[in-house]
Every structure is written in C-alpha cells, then in structure tokens.
A and B are shown apart, each in its own frame.
Chain A
Amino acid sequence: MMMHATLSALFLGALLAVSLPAAAVDLTISCGTVGREREFCEQATSAWAKETGHHVTLATPPQRTNERFFQYLFDLGQGDSRIDVYQIDIIWTGLLAKHLVDLKQYISQTDIEQNFPAIVANNTVDGRLVGMPWFTDVGLMYYRKDLLEKYGLSVPQDWSELIDIALYIQTQERKAGQSEMWGYVFQGAAYEGLSCNALEWIAAYDGGTVVDKEGAITIDNPQANMAIARAASWVNTVAPPQVTSFNEEDARQMFQSGNAVFMRNWPYAWAMLNAKDSPVAAKVGALPLPRGGVKGISASVLGGWQLAVSKYSKNPEVAADLVRYLTSEAVQKQRAIGGAYPPTIMRLYEDPEILAAVPFLATMRPAMESAVARPVPQTGTDYMAVTTYFWDAVHNVLQGQGTAASNLKALEDQLRHVKFRGGW
C-alpha cells in the first residue's frame, strides 16, 4: 500500500513536471524607471508573454538607485519571492550574488559569450554567472572638436598630451576674453563617480584596480601613487577648484555651457550635448579615455545594468527564459535603435541599422574593448566599503589633505581591515 502510494506520487510528480512548461506562470520583473526604461521593459516583456503564454507583471522600484539597492537587499535578505527578475547595477553583482541563481545552467554558452568579456567577468562571482548583461555604460572623453581645430591640434593620445592641450587652449581662450574657460572637468566629488575616474587614471598607468582578481589589495604601488598625484596637480590649474564637488551633471553643465575643453563622462551626455538648445551642439567629439603614457593603456570604467533571477523565485527556469529573451540580440537591437541603450553584444556595434540610428555607438566601441571593471566580484559584500574608502582617500589628495603616498598607504591599511572582516 505504502509502496503504491509512493509510486503514484512519483508518477503524479513526473506528470506535473512534464506538463509544467505548458502551464501559464506569473512572473514579476523589477526593471528601471528612469526615462523611458519602463516603457521599453513593458514592450519587450509583453512580447515574450504573448510568445510563451506566461504572464509578466512590472514591479515599481524606487527611482533612486541607492534606495532601489537597499530595497532589493532587504527583500532578498528576507527570502522574498514576490519578484522573480531584478535589473541590477554592475556594482551590485558581488553584493547580491548569494541571493541570485547561476544563469549558466539555463542560458547557453554561445548566448553568454556574444557579450563583451569584461562585462561577463564582472557578472561572474565565484564562478557563477549571477547576472546577464542587458545594456552598458562606459567612461568616455568628450572634447570640443571646434576648439581643437581652431588651434590646429589633433586629438590627444595619452593623459599628459591631453592636459597639455587642455592647458594651452584654456590659456589662449582666456587671453581671447573667455575668462570662465577651463581645460578639463571630471567627477571629483567624494562618491562612486570619483572611484570610477580614479580607477581609470590608475589603470591607465598600469597601477592595478585597487584589489586584484585574486582579492589581494594592490592600491599602494608607485604607479597608482603617480597617477593620483598627477590628478591632484590638475585641480585649480587645468580643472576648476570646485571640481572636487562635481558629479556627472555638474561636469556636463559646465562643459555644455561651453566653459570646458575636455570632459570625462558617461554615454548619456552625448544626446544632451547635441540637443537643439545646447550651445555646444555638433561641436563635440567623444573618444576612449587617453592612455597612461606611451606604454600605458586606455582604460574606461564599465557601468551598466544586468538582469538577474532571484534564488527565491518559484519559477527560476521560466524567469531565466525571460532574461534570455530580454538580453537577446533582437531585443537589444530594438532598445538600441529605439532608446539608444548601448548593447552588451559585441556584434551589434557593427550592425548598420543600429549605427545609422545611433552613430555615436561607433565611437563607444573602442572604449568598450578597453574597458576595465571595478573590483566588484572579488570584494563581494564589501564593495561599498572598498569604494567608499577609495574615493575618500583620492578626494583627500585632490583637496590637498596629505600626499598621494600617505593617503594610499592609509587606504591600503584600511582595506586590510575590510578584507579581514569580509574574509575575501
């Protein structure tokens, strides 16, 4: 009798398992709400729902990324199963990894490998693929084409050339009556943006990425010291003194009003700089970030968003299929043409239709290829501590509080504490 019951239960189970894919499943996805993100998300998910017969609901997360992160963290920390698919920032992968499923078991190797390797690496925590790249961001060097032409200068190849040109044009323009002109603006306030900028300076001079892939702290090295000390010398010479309180928008506004020759910023600035009412419309070019010296490399920090499946989802397999669909070539192409969201699939940067609709993406490609990732996977749940102490130390140097050497030495000590606590 017992045997019989067990057998029939097994049979029933097998029957259910077979018939499951046919049953309609309710999924909830939490995608971004900035700009037209929600609209595009709705379009693509309903297309998938129609195709598969499942049903998808859109959650409404907080608009500010910081708040969104804490909500995700609290929900996932409690094993909340209401949301199946999360849109996560590239710097959250290590922080949320233990609550996310390994997508390698659901998504084919070919689908994964068509993305830029640096982004895939950033999504891989302890060998598990916790996020599937959706759209990307990368640090770019914007410059005033018209001013470089006016003085007969070609685009700079490395950092010292860039600063020389910036200083030269700044001086000449001021002589010509443009008293507000500055050579270079970047993100220098004490926040994540400064961590990105500083990482680009250091990586360009082969000074590492603060914490290396194995989790060893590498920040206190001569190359990093030199890179940070150089950056500090820009403040109040070629960069305005208030640059130490600049975020992306402060830098963009200054550059857009025509008062800066060079600017480091994300791809989003392109559309705004070339808007109809922009004083610098059609006068702007964009480059990958300069190399660190003749032997150095060009290093642009990666940003961007991924899709991840919650470990607590009741239907991880179906959720992973939604992720596969949303990150597929077809949907990324749609989003690139319709909303200028930079794709993560390498091939799409050669797609004639995309390049015709968003020519700017052609300039992004070299930056994507030389991209460096922030030390996210290797620092796990401690990335916020690592980046906070990093930007604090760099900010101190920019403000003239102590030398690069003393600050980076103290930073290395501080990070050793964080590493000990986190056990990475």
Chain B
Amino acid sequence: MATAEAEIADDRLAGVAGNLTKAQQSQLTRSRVRAAWLFLAPMLILLALVAGWPLFRTIWFSFTDANLSDLGSAKFIGFENYLTRIDGEWYGVLADAEWWNAVWNTMKFSIISVSIETALGLIVALVLNATFKGRSLVRAAVLIPWAIPTIVSAKMWGWMMHDQFGILNHMLLGLGLISAPLAWTASPDLAMVAVIMVDVWKTTPFMALLILAALQMLPTDCYEAARVDGIHPVKVFFKVTLPLIKPALMVAVIFRLLDALRIFDLIYVLTSNSRDTMSMSVYARQQLVDFQAVGYGSAASTLLFLTVALCTVLYITFGRVRFEGR
C-alpha cells in the first residue's frame, strides 16, 4: 500500500515537473527530499535510540566478559562467548547443552502453537465470515483473550492449572476424565502442553482476525460460478478460498512465528526457569540476570536475534511471501 501511494505521488510529481525547467525541478526535488528527511528524522532518531542502540550494545557485550556486578571492567574476548576450543573441549553458548535444549523447546513451541493457531483461526474466521444474528457481538467477544495482557492471562491460567486448587483439575476430576490431580505446570510431560494450550487460547483470535479480513475482501463472482456449477463446498474451500487468502495467511503466519520465536512472558510466568519449557529468551534472561553473566547472556540474545532473522529470510524466500498485497 505504501509503495502504491508513493508511486502515485511520483506520477504527480512527474506531471508537475513536466511544466517546469530543469533547474526549478531539481530545486523542488531537493526541497521535497529535505522535507521528507525532516519528517522522518524524529522517527529515525527514536528508532536508533530505542532499538538500534540496545541492539548494538548487546552485540558489543557479547564479545566481552561483562558481568552484571561490574559492567565497567568488561574486556574484549572475541568469540569466546559463542564458541571456543580449549584443551580439546568446546565452550561457549553454541557448545552449551542447555542452550540447545532452549532452542529445541522454542522450535517445538513455535511450530506446534502456530500450526494449531492457524488451523483454529481459519475455522473461527470462516464461522465469523458467515452471516448470522449477533455476528458483530461474537466477533468482539472472540477478541477478548487477545486483548488481555499476557502477564494477566498467564497468571490467570496459572491459577486455573494449579495442581491442588485449580479449576481445570476440579472439572476434569468431576467429569471423571482423570483420577488424580495433574500438576500441569510442574510435571515435565505436561508443562509444554500447558504453555502451548494457553498460547493457543490467547493468540487464535489474532489469527482469526487477520484471516477474517482477508475473507471479507474475496470477490463473490468465483463463489457464484462455483454454486452454478454445483461444486462441493469443501472443494470450493480448497480450490478457491485457500489460494485466494494464501498471501494474507502467509503474512499472518510470519507475524505469529516471529512472535513465537522470541516467546518469554507466558513461559516465564507459567513455569519460571523450568528446563522443560525454557525458551531461548528465558535462557538469555537467566544468564543475564540470575547468573549476572552479561557477556555470555548477550551472546545468547544475539544468537536469538540471528535465529529470528534467519527464520524470517528462509520463510520469505521459500514461502514467496509478498508484503505488497498485489
């Protein structure tokens, strides 16, 4: 959209320029460029301050032996925090079994939760796209989980999943589905399931909303043609709807994926530093704050940043996602 507007502006500019001499034209262009930079400057400065500077500092720290108790005395140590070989042993984040456990947890979490959210979001969107009474009310209601701050919903679910007083166990026991209370967030087998469950509950509305927006833009003529030809609705969905909403779906998935890869709050509130659910962000925080290893933790943060960047590039390349929407 942004590019389209820019092009229109360019065309207009060309039209005006046609009636001007070359000198006038370049002067106008220069003043316009100046004005553009002037308008952009606050945003660029702000971005550099709140995003660029911390990122740069984190990357710099990752090459030092900085400690939280004494940041001033940090020394440059090259790639030692990442990977180094001393006396036939590998050291550094990349040789740390805990780090790879965190990477594995994050990947598992991201792939499973985003897949479920996409499937459920699609179903919810299709339902909400149909015309029925009180549709706008249902649409608003569906958004509630997304509107609640993550810390609040994580705390809320933490209580609902409590092994002794939690309502979830109470209900399951009442229905006779389980014979003893389950330790949802403490048991090694269930902790990841619990985290994914809460994330799906929370984020499905977001997916549904994005897909619904795509559904509402679909042309009606294809559907009329399909109805005239008597095509089965399931076939219509796979042959018409899905290909048409695919670009929007891909963008929604990439948003969610980027969000899921850096997951922190939900996991930290629900299961703290537990090894069974520790994500890359939780690992980095533990090193940075709990263990005060700022250099080492920064290396982990930088690797997380690179992982997210790599996933994005891979996804855009292989998924052929186009953000222009054309």
Contact = CB atoms under 8 A, between A and B. Distances in A.
Given A245-B186, A414-B97, A416-B89, A384 B290 contact: yes
Contact of B96 (A242, A382, A417): A417
B39 to A, nearest CB: 39
A218 B293 CA distance: 23
Contacts of A96: 69
Interface string A26-66: 00000000000000000000000000000000000000000
Contacts of B95: 417
A399 B289 CA distance: 27
A190 B91 contact: no
A95 B286 CA distance: 16
B291 interface: yes
Chain A CB count within 10 A is highest, among B69, B98, B289, for B69
Contacts of B286: 388
A385 B86 contact: no
A77 interface: yes
A73 interface: yes
B269 to A, nearest CB: 16
A413 interface: yes
A76 B70 CA distance: 8
Interface in A240-262: 242, 244-245
Contact of A392 (B69, B183, B275, B293): B275
27 contacts: A73-B69, A77-B69, A77-B70, A77-B71, A95-B69, A95-B292, A98-B69, A99-B70, A244-B186, A245-B163, A381-B67, A381-B69, A384-B290, A384-B291, A385-B290, A385-B291, A388-B290, A392-B275, A410-B97, A413-B97, A414-B96, A417-B91, A417-B95, A418-B291, A420-B86, A420-B91, A421-B81
Nearest to B67: A381
A416 B274 CA distance: 21
Contacts of A413: 97
A73 B68 contact: yes
A172 interface: no
Contacts of A242: 163
Contacts of A388: 273, 286, 290-291
A406 interface: no
A401 interface: yes
A319 B136 CA distance: 69
A384 to B, nearest CB: 5
B264 interface: no
Nearest to A74: B68
Given A414-B98, A417-B95, 11 more contacts: A73-B68, A77-B68, A99-B69, A99-B70, A385-B290, A413-B97, A414-B97, A417-B91, A417-B96, A418-B291, A421-B81
Nearest to A97: B69
B309 to A, nearest CB: 26
B319 interface: no
B64 to A, nearest CB: 12
Contacts of A385: 290-291, 293
Contacts of A381: 67, 69, 292
A385 B86 CA distance: 21
Interface string A118-152: 00000000000000000000000000000000000
Contact of A98 (B70, B71, B86, B163): B70
Interface string B156-183: 0000000100000000000000000001
A393 to B, nearest CB: 10
- Ranked 3 nearest A-B pairs via Cβ: A385-B291, A420-B91, A77-B69
B121 to A, nearest CB: 34
Contact of B91 (A244, A245, A401, A421): A421
Contacts of B273: 388
A192 to B, nearest CB: 12
Contacts of A410: 97
Interface in A374-424: 381-382, 384-385, 388, 392, 396, 399, 401, 410, 413-414, 416-418, 420-421
A421 B289 CA distance: 15
A96 B292 CA distance: 11
Contacts of A399: 188
B69 A382 contact: no
A247 B283 CA distance: 24
Given A392-B275, A421-B296, A382 B71 contact: no
Contacts of A384: 290-292
Chain A CB count within 10 A is highest, among B95, B96, B286, B291, for B291
A396 B98 CA distance: 14
B171 to A, nearest CB: 21
A96 B86 CA distance: 29
A70 B291 CA distance: 11
A388 B293 CA distance: 14
B98 A73 contact: no
Contacts of A245: 163, 183, 186
Contacts of B188: 399, 401
